[in-house]
Structure 1
Amino acid sequence: MGIHECALKSRAFNALKEVYDHRSEALLKERSEGKKVLGELGCDVPDELVIAAGMLPVRIYADSDRDMTEADKYLEYAFEPVVRAQFEKLVDGTYSEQIDYLAISNSTDIDIRIFLYLRELKRVEPEKPIVPITFIDWLFTRNRLHQERNEFIIGLFRKQLEEWAGHEITDVDILKAADICNKNRAALRRISALRHGNEVRITGSEALVIIGAGLFMDREKHTELVNELSDEARGWPVIDAPRVYYTGANQEDLRLYEMIESKGLVIVGEDTDFGERYFNRDFNLDYPVIRGIVDRYMLREFSAKKATPKERMEALEREVEAAGAQAVVFYTNIYDEVATWDIPKQIESLERRGIKHIRFEKMLWPAAKNEGLEERLGEFAEEMRGGRS
């Protein structure tokens, strides 16, 4: 299954896939045209402020086929493999050619540690090709005191962006950028609607391309292409396959999704930062601009690293129901212990509601390194089809 012929014949989809498949080239092109590019590590860097500063926000991502010389030198082996590969590119000079600045949010404990390591490296080895860095230290507990403190922190981030951009970021700039982001999220929700329910027309692999391209290109151009594609995809054939929901490790490329869907399943949703969680909750344009940013990032759906197991269980219940999923795939990489804390309660909830699941833990990265993975997925797919091959 994976990517269908109808998607490959679409002008809009091919334009998105070109960016998704050639991210480095897209960033180099933006910089060659005079655009300042800000890399984001962690999922809680406010795109609205970055766009308001006149910069292009892009997501830091890993390459699985590169040597880990710098990561082996500076990081413990207990860092998640994807994080090690991201660190490698930040230190070996790759990203110094593709981005101008780096913003790191405390979305996970690992992100915090990467910031501390990079900051110390810049201090003791200033010759390292590491771009200027800033850190966003959110508090995610939902109370008034933390909201006020977060507004102060985002105000500091605004000042840092103004310094890097060389001009003031006005409230009008922020509201304009917030409207751009809200329209982009609305376009992506149109795609999401074509994945949910009984009439699924877009595969998970196609959705990853559509969502992921927006992490590396101009947001307004992305919105235009996504809306064009949504209009086309409404006429695509309905996908007749067992519907599964994915939760666990972020998937920065298509390999795992294509493996799952090659077994005759279709992924109808996910709660990852490269998936549907990315466009959860809008910026409230009626709020003061800093309050609007804090409201959006503080109150959107919980991620594994910022919520209790009970909160994560309830979030998964809502999302599986909304997607119309018939089963859930749990998939966590080696050394990703935090996400596994949620899984027992989530499985209890699924079993009470008669929803099937399959669980993969301590997986190697990339997915192809795992012996027996394809076989287990094939067996699960057959079970979902009721024994029909």
Structure 2
Amino acid sequence: MSPALAALEAAYARPCVPGGPAIGYVGADVPVELLTAAGFHAVRLTGDPGGDAAPGDRYLGRGVDPMARSILTRLLTGAFGELERVVVSHDCEASLRFFYALRELRRIEPGAGVPEAYLVDVLHLPHRTTARYNRRRIGEFAARLAAWSGRPLDLPAAIEAHDERRRLLAAVAELRRAVPARLTGAQFLAAANADLPLPEHVARLRELLAQSDRLPSWRGRRVFLSGSDHDTPHVYETIEADGHVIVGEDHSFGDPQAERRVGRGDLDALTEHYHESGPTAHRATAAERARHAATAVRRCRAELLVAYARTGDDAPAWDFAAQRAALDVPAVLLDRQDYGRADLAALRKEET
């Protein structure tokens, strides 16, 4: 067993206690480099599929993605400790509804202790006007962070550090793509999303790569997982316990974190990075998603695509027909799944 992997898995399973001010964030389009540049520890907020979501249901309604409802519940019950603020991106409708709920709660229930919320509205249309709009929004966010922290932002150093993390994570992803795989999908989630201060996360990823000869081989039907975000390992563990190995995915907690680097240390490069970030289900056409799936399946040497659509998150199911037509491997849709659960009946039916 790799000690570095064990440390990453432990950090993934428990919340980090930062040594300095922390800002929570929700959504794939929050430019975390700016949070680092301002001296904040960035905490991506996650839900709890097994927890009581009643407070979140009350304010968001049961028609909203249950992941967002669970995150709101955990925020209201103090599960994330002391957060300076919460930054939300407009990466999907659920994230936007989450932001509006936080803003209204601060207005109508000031005693509830809800942190101040800030919206980063990054759009993804392939237009020059969209790029200009995004540059203004990210510039405003940078200015706000400088005001919150009371110091100039060290953006070049922050971008360099996050790009190094991306480079290392891309190398870790290659361990999972090996035949046989050297990491399971759940282990990769832990490596990618361990809640550690950035310098420590980078150090642990380096150690994991140096200890790769200690990793076992994982055999099973190789799966590429498409669709809804997975902010916990529950679905991965269910699929992999059934004899599969998840060797790639297209949601924002997985491979897309390592697929592109920012490069230059300025706001223009940072804006371009987030404007052009990968084809997730909520911000790309079905044709773009199908092309991406076909390329990723080949790169991962996957033997099966599993499209997963959570109840309250319908967008991934809309792409499935185009994805299946673009592939030369079988594809299965797990539609309207409960948060944190995977009904494998369709998967097992495909195998018979």
TM-score range, shorter chain: over 0.9
Counterpart in 2 of 1:330? 307
Which residue of structure 2 lines up, in the alignment, with residue 240 of structure 1? Answer: 219
Counterpart for residue 44 of structure 1? 29
| Aligned equivalents of 1:126, 1:309: Cα separation in 2 | 42
Shift in Å, 1:76: 1.6
Q: Is the 8 A contact 1:62 1:252 kept in 2?
A: yes
Deviation at residue 111 of structure 1 after TM alignment: 1.0
TM-score (norm 2): 0.95
- The DSSP-based 3-state class of the residue aligned with 2:46 is coil
- Helix, strand or coil for the counterpart of 1:12? helix
Classify the secondary structure of the residue corresponding to 1:113: helix
Q: Return the letter of the residue paired with 2:274.
A: Y
Distance, in Å, in 2 between the alignment partners of 1:126 and 1:239 is 51
Aligned to 2:135: 151
1:197 positional shift: 4.6
SS in 2 for 1:302: coil
Residue number among 223, 230, 237 corresponding to 1:251 in the alignment:
230
Q: CA deviation at 1:231?
A: 2.2
Q: How does 1:128-277 map to 2 (within 5 A)?
A: 128-169=112-153, 173-213=154-194, 216-234=195-213, 236-277=215-256
Amino acid in structure 2 at the alignment position of 1:358: V
- Residues 308, 316 of structure 2: 8 Å contact kept: no
Q: Who is 1:365 aligned against?
A: 339
- Residues 93 and 129, structure 1, Cα contact 8 Å, conserved in 2: no
Aligned partners of 1:87 and 1:156: how far apart in 2? 25
Give the whole-Å Cα distance in 2 for the aligned partners of 1:263 and 1:342.
25
1:158 Cα deviation (Å)?
0.5
Q: Is the 8 A contact 2:317 2:333 kept in 1?
A: no
* Aligned residue in 2 for 1:6: none
Residues 155 and 128 (structure 1 numbering): CA distance in 2 closer, same or farther, change over 3 Å? same
* Cα deviation, residue 65, structure 1: 3.3
Matches within 5 A, 1:283-322: 283-285=262-264, 289-322=266-299
Q: Identity over aligned residues, as a percent?
A: 27
Superposed displacement of residue 377, structure 1: 4.3
Per-residue CA deviations over 1:365-389 (Å, capped at 9, x if unaligned) read: 231xx6xx25554555xx3xxx7xx
State the TM-score, normalized to the length of structure 1.
0.86
Task: Using the TM superposition, give the Cα deviation of residue 276 of structure 1 relative to its aligned residue in structure 2, in angstroms.
Answer: 0.6
> How far 1:264 moved relative to its partner?
1.7
- Aligned equivalent of 2:77: 92
**Over residues 192-248 of structure 1, what are the superposed CA-to-partner deviations in whole Å (9 max), with x where a residue is unaligned?**
1112253421111111111120xx211121111112112222453443322110112
3-state secondary structure, aligned to 1:304: coil
SS at the partner of 2:302? Answer: coil
Could you tell me whether the CA contact under 8 Å between 2:85 and 2:115 is conserved in 1?
yes
Deviation for aligned residue 1:17: 1.4
| 1:277 maps to amino acid | P
Aligned to 1:58: 43
The yes-or-no answer on 1:108 pairing with 2:86 is no
Which AA in structure 1 matches 2:286? P
Q: Tell me how far apart the structure 2 counterparts of residues 375 and 249 of structure 1 sit (CA, whole Å).
A: 18
Q: Which runs of 5+ in 1 are unaligned?
A: 1-8
| Contact 1:182/1:283, CA 8 A, preserved across alignment | yes
Distance 1:133 1:53 in 2: 17
Structure 2 residue matching 1:149: 3-state secondary structure: helix
Q: How far has the Cα of 1:178 moved from its partner?
A: 0.4
2:12 equivalent to 1:20: yes
| 1: CA distance, partners of 2:241 / 2:159 | 38
Greater mean deviation of Cα atoms: 339-348 or 178-187: 339-348
Tell me: CA distance 1:267–1:183, structure 2 relative to 1, closer, same or farther (3 Å).
Answer: same
- Give the 3 Å change call, closer, same or farther, for CA 379–233 of structure 1 in structure 2: farther
CA contact (8 A) 2:30 2:87 kept: yes
Per-residue CA deviations over 1:253-296 (Å, capped at 9, x if unaligned) read: 222212211222111100111111122210122xx611111111
The SS at the match of 2:87 is: strand
Q: Aligned-pair distance for 1:64?
A: 2.6
Q: SS where residue 330 of structure 1 aligns?
A: strand
1:10 paired to 2:9: no
Deviation, structure 1 residue 92: 3.4
Q: What number of residue pairs does the alignment pair up? A: 352
Q: Which amino acid aligns with 1:61?
A: T
Unaligned runs of 5+ in 2: none
Paired AA for residue 169 in structure 2: L
Distance in 2 separating the partners of 1:191 and 1:132: 36
What code does the residue aligned with 1:13 have? L
Matched AA of 1:243: R
CA distance in 2, matches of 1:305, 1:234: 38
Runs of 4+ in 1 over 6 A off after TM superposition: none
- Aligned AA for 2:87? A
